[in-house]
Amino acid sequence: MDHQDSQWGLLAQWIEESNRIVFFGGAGVSTESGIPDFRGAKGFYHQDREIPLEQVLSIDFFTVHPQAYWEWFAQENAREGVAPNAAHRFVAGLERAGKLSAVVTQNIDGLHQQAGSRRVLELHGNWSRLTCTGCGERFTLDDVDDARSGEVPHCPTCASVLRPDIVFYGEMLDNDVIEGAVQAISEADLLIVAGTSLVVYPAAGLIDYYAGERLVLMNATPTPYDSRADLIIREPVGQVFQERQHAPDVALADQPDVTAFLQDLARDVERQVAGIDHAAHEAQVGGDQLLGIVHDEDTPHVQTHAVALLAIPQVEGGMLGNIE
């Protein structure tokens, strides 16, 4: 069994055993949907721009020069093929199955809702919602004709400038959203943190409220929280949640029964374990004590033990990180 298979098996086991999962996502969750992240090699902050994006997304700059934001938004909104990917669909499927209690996201793209998620806590807001800077009336992009044109949209009621319902640099996060995220994370029995470098605060600090023993970090590069993780996965988030046994573009969450598919995945891992076991006997290689657990016909949880044991050497960081 290779590194990725062992990680898949352990993650599948934990998901199947959990009923209060929280999915905490960052920009890396949406990169496979065609939206760049911010700090990656091809991210927004590395783009050659006349005005740095950090400045465009600051409230002080927006107040004086709203045109810069709306030009950037029109460019990004015009990207073709942007849609929820396998990660968004899988998470929505977990919610439908009653296993996921909340999505906590740093993204402003609304792709989780498009995939069907309902319990979404948006730490940084949502760029598809608009608020009037004058009268405070709220709109959606579809309510305002020129909101996607690159020109500054104005309120249909009072003609004041409209702003996106996002948290600009220099603004405070919504207290109700923060409280909801803290409660969900503190009550979670499995916390999956995906596509975020965990360097932006106060969002990153929410991880500190997790008191469980199953912290999964899914990010292409190391994070400050790697030493606390119980499982680290470096593969792209959407790829991890994509079905491998059928058509390559079908997500796990698209299956009628998420739990049943996870069981299929576990059986696939078990078959690989059995193959390793058979090869070990053929070659008369050592390790009989470990494989003896797999052979114990009186053990009712052979599948669980086999997956967990073979996953341990591949786990980075956390309580299992130093086991060879």
Active site residues: 124
Is the bond into 202 cis (omega within 30 degrees of 0)?
yes
Q: Are 192 and 24 in contact (CB under 8 A)?
A: yes
Q: Are 123 and 173 in contact (CB under 8 A)?
A: yes
In angstroms, what CA-CA distances link 151 with 36, 63, 144, 162, 300?
A: 23, 15, 12, 11, 65
The dihedral through the CA atoms of 12, 14, 20, 22 has a sign that is negative
In angstroms, what CA-CA distances link 23 with 45, 122, 232, 237, 307?
A: 25, 12, 15, 12, 23
Q: Are 34 and 79 in contact (CB under 8 A)?
A: yes
